[in-house]
Amino acid sequence: MADDFSDPFKMFRDLWKPLETPMPTLPGLFSAEELDRKITELKTVENWLTVNLNMLQMSIKTLEMQRGALAAMQAVAKPDKDSK
């Protein structure tokens, strides 16, 4: 189980493996079931990427809030030069 966390892109690569095979030259050679399966796979990848994008954006916003809070606390803690 620990090996699963050492490679964060394993799931992404596994989802794309079926697409590594050469595509037929004529798109009409696909069956409706095959197209539905590929659409489902790609939507799964899209959802995975969306979740990761949202987590990244939330991390950035959290760090920006922490930076603002730290700057505010440092401004309050800094002794005022004019008061002496």
- Kindly report the backbone phi and psi dihedral angles of residue 66, in degrees, each rounded to the nearest multiple of 5, phi listed first: -65, -40
Q: What does each C-alpha distance from 33 to 20, 21, 29, 37 come to in angstroms?
A: 19, 17, 12, 6
**pTM (2 d.p.):** 0.53
Pick from 43, 63, 61, 62: which is nearest to 51 by CA?
43
Residue pLDDT, tens place only, 8-45:
778 777 877 777 766 655 555 678 899 899 999 999 99
Residue pLDDT, tens place only, 47-80:
999 999 999 999 999 999 999 999 999 999 987 7
Exposure pattern of 47-57 as b/e (b: 16+ CB <10 Å)? eeeeeeeeeee
Alpha carbon distance 48, 51 (integer Å): 5
